[in-house]
Each structure stands twice: as C-alpha cells, then as structure tokens.
A and B are shown apart, each in its own frame.
Chain A
Amino acid sequence: MSRQLEFDIFRYNPQEKGSVPHMQTFVLDETENMTLFIALNRLREEQDPGLIFDFCCRAGICGACAMVINGRPGLACQTKTIDLPERITLLPLPVFKLIGDLSVDTGVWFREMYQSTESWVHTTKVFDANAIEERMENEVAEQIYELERCIECGCCVSACGTARLRDDFLGAAALNRVARFVVDPRDQRTDRDYFEIIGNDEGIFGCMGLLGCEDVCPKGLPLQNQLGFLRRKMGITAIKEIFRK
C-alpha cells in the first residue's frame, strides 16, 4: 500500500530571527491507518523538531488541531492520510493570530467571546446545598447539550466570509453559544438582553448566509438553524423596540 506522501507545510516562526513566511516540503512514507496526527508528529520527531503545531486529545474531542487541510478547515487528528492525495498542503487557520507554523491562538479569541456574550447562566437564584436539585425535562437537557457540543476548534470562524472581512464579527460559534443560553430555562435573560449582545452587524445581522460555518463544523452542529432561530427572535425583538418608541 505504501505511498510516499509529500507535505507542503506553511512555515513561519515570528520569534525566530530571520524567519520569513514560506512553504516547506517534507516527504514521508505512509503507514497503515495513518492520520495527520501521526504524520505531523513523525515529521517533528524525525525530520524537523522546530515544526510548530498543536494537538491535545488526538481523538476529535478537544478541537486543538484545526488547520487548513488541502484548502479546507478541519481537525488534523481525525483526518486519515488515505483520504487525501499524495500531495498534502497544510496551512494555519486564517482569522486567528498566528503563533508559529500551523499553530494559531484560538484561546484568546474564544475567551473574549465568553466575555462579550456573557457566556454563563444569569440567575438571581442562590444555590442551596440542602435542597434537592431543580427539576428539568430531559428533552430540554438534551437540547442544551446538543448546542454545547461545540469544541471551539475555530473551523467555522475560519470558513466565515464575514469574519474574514471584519474583526469584530462574533461568528457562528458565538451565536451558537448564545442560542445555548436562550434555550436554557435556568437563564433569566430576556430577548431584549440578548438583543443588546447580538442584535447588530457584529452579531446576528452581520451574517451573509454563505453556510461555510456549517459545512466545515467537525461536530456537525446545526449552526445555520441556530442562526435562523436567533435572527427571527432578534428581528421580532427589534420590531417590538420600534413600536415601544
């Protein structure tokens, strides 16, 4: 079966004197069940220990290893080389700040998103350690979990036309996050509260509807449905605001 794979990898280490952005080619013999996780680690350990890239869980659960694989954002750990041609081009995700080679800074981006969307349950209730838990319908719990499955890999943001045009666009991951709290009965925020956060061009009205986010989401999240859901909700809220004045 053995193919010889050619990897064209983006190289640039901003912390290294004299480093300039360029593409570098590596050659590697393909082995059975090879994933990009295995290939990249072999390249670093056997050919160039200076190569910078991120992996964490290596099982498609954590989202650390998103990169542009032959032109498409995806998770490197769950990409098998057998599904790719012999020539493989790897680039870092756009939109996010580059750390080096294939590694980008998703951590800071997402932490800012938590702050701007106030990503926590807003409630005036105080926890009582002696009481039994508040009841919730299982269906609702499952609905919340379906929206919370986002692994913050950044693929959707990288594939987003609006995010590529403007830095302040919240992106699909953030709107999905807001939707998660909208469906949660424990969160006491009203539609007007949410309108303050996402009822503008940086939020729900900035989306051009290109669907790139949902196309590349490795978890298959219904990002466009959530967008539509929020847009209707925010549209109605906006109209109510007009009549209130």
Chain B
Amino acid sequence: MQTYYSDLLVIGAGLAGERVAVEAAQDGFDVICLSIVPARRSHSSAAQGGMQAALGNCAKGEGDNVDVHFGDTVRGSDWGCDQEVARLFADAAPIEMRRLAHWGVPWNRVVPGKSFYFKGGEKFEKEEKEEKRGLITARSFGGTAKWRTCYTSDGTGHAVMCTMDNRCAELGINVFDRKEAISLIHDGDVCTGAVVRCLRTGELEVYLSKATAICTGGFGRIYKATTNAVICDGGGHIIAHDTGVVPIGNPEAIQFHPTGIVPTDILVTEGCRGDGGTLLDVNEERFMNIYEPEKAELASRDVVSRWMTHHMRQGKGVKSAYGEHLWLDIRHLGDKHISTKLREVDEICHHFLNVDPRKQLIPVRPTQHYTMAGVRTDKDGAVYGLKGLFSAGEAACWDMHGFNRLGGNSLAETVVAGGIIGRKISEFLQGYETDFKTSLVSDAVRKQQDRMEKLASGAKGKENVYKVREELQNALMDGCFVFRNDAGLKSCIDTLQGTLEKARKVGLVSSGAGANHEMAAALKIEGQVKLGLCIAKGALERTESRGSHNREDYTARNDKEWLNRTLAYWREGADMPELQYEDATPCYEIPPGDRGYGGGSIIEADKAGIEAKTIKK
C-alpha cells in the first residue's frame, strides 16, 4: 500500500483547492492536491462570465465599493447568508483580483474613450476615463448595482485556472491527477487524511495529513438535468457526510437556470433573453407574457424556471427522446446580432445541436446549475464536527450565498475563500501536531477494500448502479426541482427510501478492474441518494419560499420562523437525515428587508430580536 504524508491534503484541485494549496505552500507547508481529472479540466475552467470584486475602475463601476458589493450579496442571498462571511468576502475580493493579475491573469483592461453597450435591447453610450487606462475593467451582471464583474474575454475561469495551476507548478506543489478520495480517515473527532482510489490502476492508496481540505465543487450530477461537468457528483460531500459527524448546510438550497440546451444541458447565456429572445411552447406560442405580463422572459432566473416547469406540466412541453423541453427563439435578432453579440451561443448551437439559431429554434429546459448547499464550515472554513478538516468553494457551505447565489460571485468565491481559508489552515498548522494511528488507517483501508470486493462480486445484490442513479436523478427532478410542495416532496422521499435500499444492494456488471467507471459510480451511489434525501427532507421541513427554494404551498418568505440554516446530519445506520437548525447569521449589518426584485411577500421577524443582533455603524 502506497502511503503519502503531507501537512495539508487538498481534495479537489479546481480554483478553490489550488488557491488553498498555494496559500499553505507559500508559508512553507508541504501540500498535496488530489484531483480526479488533470487540474485544468476542473469545472472552474468552464466558468465564462467573471468574478465580482468592487474595484470601481470602469465608467459604469464608478462609485462602487466593498459595502455596495456586500449589500448586493446579502440581498441576493435573500438574507439567508452569514453576514460576517459576506463581509470577509466583499472586503478581500479586490485584493485577490489584483493578486491574480500579479500572478499572470490577463484581465481585460479599461480602454479610454467612448463606446456603446446594450441594455434590454436598447443602445447606450458610455465614456471611459483616460486616468483609468490599463486598470482591470468590469462588465455588468444580474443582481448587482454597479458593473463589477472582472473578466477575461469569454474564458475567465479558464484563464484564472491556468494561472493558478502555473502558480502551483512554480511552488512545486504536488498535484496528483486521477486520484479519487473514497473515505476520510478519522476517529470521530480528528481527521487525519483519506483513503484514495487511483483512477489509473484502481489500486487503493493512503494519504495522511495534519489538515485536510475538501474543495470538490458542487453536486449537480445527482440531478438528471444539470449544467455541471460530469465530475461534479458530490464525492467530497459524501466522504465528509459519511463520517456521521459532519453536517450538510442548507441542502435544500439548489439553484436552477432556465436555459440549458437539450440534450446535453450546456448553458446558453441569459443574454439571449436579455437581448430580446423569447420562449415558445409546443405550439410555438409565447407563454411568459401570460404568466408575467410585466417582465415576461426577463423575470429572474428562478421565476422563469418556475413558469417553464409549470407550462410543461400543463402539457405544453415538446416531447423528445431526452424528455420534455421548450423552445428558445432568437431568430428575429438577425444574423449580425447573433454572429457578434451572441457568438458563443451560435457556436454551442452549431457544435452540439446542429442548429442554426438564425433559422431554427433552440431546445431548452430549466436545469440544475449551482449548489449553495455544502459541507458546513465556520467562517474560518473549519468543517463542523471534525478537527483538522476544512472546506472551501462550491463544496462548502461557508455561507456567503444563503439561498441564492449571484452571478459572478461563485468564481470569485473560489479564489477569495481559498485565500482566506488557506491562511486559516496555515495558522492552524503552525505548531500543530497529530498522531497517525496505524490501526485507524488499516481499518479504514480494509473497510474500503471490503466494499470494493463486495461490489465486484455482487455479494450484497445485483442492482445496476446506472439504473439506481437514474431513479435518484428522476426523483429529484420530479419532487425537488424549481417547484416544491408537500405532496411532491413526500412522494420524492418515499421513492428515495426505496432507491436507498437498492443503492445498498448494487453489484457490478463488469469486473471493476483498473480505471473502471462502474466501480467509481458504485462507490458513491449510496452517498448520492443520501444527499438527495437531505435535499428533499430539508425542503419538506422548510415551510417558506426563500431565494431558490420555492414552495407552492408556502409562498411567503417567513423570517419569523425560518431565518435560519438547515444542518443535515446522517448518523451511522440511519435511514433518514437528522435535521438541526442554527441562526442564519451571528449579526446583521443589513437587517432583513425587501430584495428589490422577484416580488413575493415577507412574514416579518421579531423586531427586538433583529435589533439586538444589528451592528450599529
């Protein structure tokens, strides 16, 4: 058995993971990063939009500052976020963007002079100042008061990922790819590393460390329709949750996007609708104008997703080999607009659909997009329940996003949180010693070997892992998607109870030898079903609508009873998660109020309670 030692073991080498690694390595600690794919293939690299940071360099960003960014983030979260964390984030973001520029990110820069931009299909003029020439510029994103999103053409995630991975190479950090952690090594109090399956050989390896960080991204792949890469399957959440002492924070907080293309669920930008594209049903008739006469297609992501789902439920969806969908129509925008302003959409249509959007309709449907849910940490990134375990990025519920994440804040979170939490891990490691108990290690390895042997031999049953996974994915699409209600959630939980039984009886069809995918899928299927049950149970109990969590039977945001965060534990041997709750935030800089968009009513919280926790400035 190959065994590796390090001060810090980072599971996941996307932007959050590598940023954490860089911070600890700069302080002289020995760091190993593990990744199931070569680091630059991480889902971070797929982010095209940009990173929010209040630099205020460009004309439309003038007057921006960290307080405005903080306010946008809190309102975006529908007051579900930890305001201390949102403050840490907004304050550090500008420094982090400049640091990235120093390391090599080719941010787009301010070009002085007049230029045009579009808003709601209308043309406006702006003028950039000479004195700002060459500083980092920004573009506009939804939900922000100022132009604040730093970007590199249409490949921000890719460019930042390259720079971060270069920085790792420069510092000599060991980034091992094709390695998948399948269990943490812990004694119920302290985490001391992980058991890892090599995805080249299928062999098990042991990684021992003083500190371990889970930075494995989101778990969108437990939904049938998701914009996430195929590697975003919850592996990191599962090994943490599986310890029985680590909770998943706000499992019910899952974000959906209205326009994933069918069949592959690749995202086409909101810009299509922003520039005047329309949504059509099976009869090629518009419907958003019926449900939302004012904003129609331009209502917020969640609102549009909800009406699309509703309309398909009314039998107006287009049937296809890949399930029902609707149409996005941008034909009327014309060739010039499509080949310049929407070039990327044009390319996606060409490469993945064989559709010419000038002449044909684009098949779309609402699609899972982001998990605000995650491994619950405190503001230092330390995971609840296990000493020495940390988490950062989409994998974590650090909780600056609450119940709805703003565009441009996810990619920014990876590096900003990675920097902050990396420093906290460094502080933790100063002078920290731990014991590696050999019996603990060999027990952990034996347990995994035993699981793999039983899966390969079919000793526990012959359920097909892909069929079980499909049952999970479909149950979540039916019961825990954009609309939620009592009956749907109860039926989802019923189904998933049966799915959990089956997940425990999976047996492989193939031998499972080597870089076998069926084995990888089988090793995590039970944990995935448990995540699904956490979402459903959390959503059933939360009898209100907040951010992306929308209950048809409880349409108000209920601050009186639900200004809190769900913590879902899975105790050993249990068949259902155990839910606990904690206050959403330890203090208020901005007391709960109206978000200013999306509508909806609010059941107000007890004023004295809010007052007592409000910071006076």
Contact = CB atoms under 8 A, between A and B. Distances in A.
Interface of A: 13-17, 31-33, 35, 37-38, 44-46, 48-52, 54-64, 77-78, 80, 82-83, 99-100, 103, 105-108, 110-111, 114-115, 118-121, 125, 127, 129, 131-138, 140-142, 144-145, 148-149, 151-152, 184, 186
B41 A56 contact: yes
B38 interface: yes
Contacts of A152: 38, 40-41
B217 to A, nearest CB: 11
A33 B353 contact: yes
B264 A58 contact: yes
B111 A138 contact: yes
Interface in B131-190: 133-137, 152-153, 155, 158-159, 162, 165-167, 169-170, 175, 177-178
A152 B466 CA distance: 30
B352 interface: yes
A64 to B, nearest CB: 5
Nearest to A181: B104
Nearest to B203: A15
A182 B205 CA distance: 40
23 contacts: A15-B515, A31-B321, A33-B262, A46-B466, A52-B516, A52-B517, A57-B230, A58-B264, A59-B348, A78-B351, A80-B354, A83-B354, A107-B178, A114-B169, A125-B102, A127-B102, A132-B135, A135-B134, A138-B110, A142-B108, A145-B153, A151-B158, A152-B40
B178 A56 contact: no
Contacts of A145: 106, 152-153, 155, 159
A3 to B, nearest CB: 14
A142 B263 contact: no
Given A32-B320, A80-B354, A138-B111, A107 B263 contact: no
A181 to B, nearest CB: 8
A142 B152 CA distance: 8
Nearest to B110: A138
Contact of B514 (A13, A111, A118): A13
B106 A148 contact: yes
Given A149-B155, A152-B38, A105 B104 contact: no
B98 interface: yes
B352 A80 contact: yes
A62 B200 contact: no
B513 interface: yes
A142 B41 contact: no
Contact of A57 (B46, B465, B513): B46
Interface stretch (B117-125, B479-487, B503-511): B503-511
A49 B510 contact: yes
Given A32-B320, A184-B104, A62 B509 contact: no
A60 B104 CA distance: 24
Nearest to B167: A120
Contacts of A33: 262-263, 352-354, 363
A129 B92 CA distance: 10
B224 to A, nearest CB: 13
Shortest Cβ-Cβ A-B pairs, 8 listed: A15-B514, A135-B134, A50-B510, A107-B38, A107-B177, A49-B518, A144-B106, A120-B170
Interface in B388-430: none
B99 A127 contact: yes
Contact of A13 (B133, B153, B264, B513): B513
Contacts of B45: 57, 61-62
A144 to B, nearest CB: 4
B68 interface: no
Contacts of B465: 49
Contacts of A14: 514
Contacts of A38: 263-264
A119 B166 contact: yes
Contacts of B137: 138
A63 B230 contact: no
A133 B516 contact: no
A121 B511 CA distance: 46
A141 B321 contact: no
A121 B166 contact: yes
A135 B109 contact: yes
Nearest to B201: A15
Interface in B321-357: 321-322, 348, 351-354
B477 interface: no
B581 interface: no
B95 interface: yes
B147 to A, nearest CB: 15
A141 B104 contact: no
Interface string B222-233: 000000011100
Contacts of B262: 33
B41 A49 contact: no
B101 interface: yes
A106 B517 contact: no
B230 A32 contact: no
A132 B98 contact: yes
B49 to A, nearest CB: 13
A59 B227 CA distance: 10
Nearest to A82: B354
B202 interface: yes
A236 B568 CA distance: 65
B513 A15 contact: yes
Contacts of B166: 114, 119-121
A64 B42 CA distance: 10
Nearest to A42: B466
Contacts of A108: 177
Contacts of A138: 108-111, 134, 137
A105 B511 CA distance: 22
B43 A57 contact: yes
Interface in B70-125: 95, 97-99, 101-104, 106-111
Nearest to B172: A115
B268 to A, nearest CB: 11
Name the residue in A45, A46, A77 with the highest tally of chain B Cβ atoms < 10 Å from its Cβ. Answer: A45
A63 B41 contact: yes
Contact of B101 (A15, A134, A140): A134
Contacts of A64: 37-38, 41
Contacts of A110: 38, 40
Contacts of B517: 44, 49, 51-52
Contact of B513 (A16, A105, A111, A132): A16
B576 interface: no
B46 A59 contact: yes
A144 B153 CA distance: 11
Given A38-B263, A62-B45, A148 B109 contact: no
B444 interface: no
B2 to A, nearest CB: 15
Contacts of B264: 35, 37-38, 58-59, 77
